[in-house]
């Protein structure tokens, strides 16, 4: 699906959407109810962007956002009796915001699509990154008392993007991962980030034992 040159923006302080990953959202603000209604009547596209720190004092207006976001397609919409919506967005493609349009209650922007290049020669490396990520998150899953079983049929790229979106990382860490050019670079950065966090966790645990 080709991304149009202008899309509505949905800025949030703690949500980053990635390509090929689903995101459930509850829409309750009047301006974003209008945005969803218009999207449902049209191409069903919404651009998710992350608010920059310090947005609180300007939230009702147009506080600054990070320029790289991800467009999503509304694949499910449940209108509620009071005008709110429950929707599911499926991440499609990254984009860069070039300029915002005025004149609407919600934000719309002129955007440039950003490719997520995948080289056929990178397939082996992507599989290695996936296996390393699964090994890194296994202790987290075990501590949570859950059972980790990721079907091998799920593509490596989708696993990398899903982990980037749903692991308990800081919003700015997720934004940095989104801005990486391509799944290979994103996966490598995610491995480095998780290895650093694992090292810090072990150091903290050792410090507590020493005292």
Unique residue bearing structure tokens 């919003």: 171
The CB-side HSE value for 128 (13 A sphere, CA atoms) comes to 8
Instruction: Provide the residue ranges of all domains of the chain, joining segments of one domain with +.
Output: 6-114, 120-210
In the predicted model, residues of the chain with pLDDT beneath 50 are none
pLDDT at 146: 57
pLDDT at 143: 67
pTM: 0.90
Q: Which CATH number fits domain 6-114: 3.10.180.10, 2.30.130.40, 3.30.360.10, 3.20.20.10?
A: 2.30.130.40
What interhelical angle do 156-166 and 183-210 show, nearest 10? 50
What does the alpha-carbon distance between residue 171 and residue 149 come to, in Å, rounded to a whole number? 26
pLDDT at 102: 84
pLDDT at 121: 84
For residue 116, with 0-12 CB atoms within 10 Å meaning exposed, 13-18 middle and 19 or more buried, which class applies? buried
pLDDT at 194: 94
For every residue of 163-180, DSSP letters joined together read HHHHSS--HHHHHHHHHS
What does the alpha-carbon distance between residue 155 and residue 127 come to, in Å, rounded to a whole number? 9
CB within 8 A of 84, min separation 6: which ones? 26, 27, 28, 33
What does the alpha-carbon distance between residue 104 and residue 162 come to, in Å, rounded to a whole number? 32
pLDDT at 118: 83
């Amino acid at each position: 699906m080709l991304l149009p040159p202008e899309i509505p923006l949905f800025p949030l302080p703690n949500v980053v959407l990635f390509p090929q990953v689903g995101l459930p959202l509850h829409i309750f603000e009047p301006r974003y109810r209008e945005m969803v209604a218009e999207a449902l009547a049209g191409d069903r596209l919404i651009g998710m962007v992350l608010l920059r720190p310090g947005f609180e004092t300007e939230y009702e207006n147009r506080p600054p956002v990070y320029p790289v976001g991800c467009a999503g397609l509304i694949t499910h919409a449940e209108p509620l009796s009071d005008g709110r919506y429950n929707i599911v967005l499926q991440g499609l493609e990254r984009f860069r915001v070039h300029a915002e349009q005025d004149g609407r209650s919600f934000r719309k922007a002129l955007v440039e699509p950003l490719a997520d290049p995948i080289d056929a020669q990178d397939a082996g490396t992507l599989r290695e990154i996936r296996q390393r990520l699964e090994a890194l998150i296994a202790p987290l899953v075990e501590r949570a008392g859950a059972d980790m079983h990721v079907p091998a049929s799920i593509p490596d790229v989708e696993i990398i993007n899903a982990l980037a979106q749903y692991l308990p990382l800081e919003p700015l860490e997720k934004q940095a991962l989104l801005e990486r050019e391509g799944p290979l670079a994103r996966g490598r950065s995610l491995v480095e980030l998780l290895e650093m966090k694992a090292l810090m966790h072990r150091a903290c645990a050792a410090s507590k034992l020493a005292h």
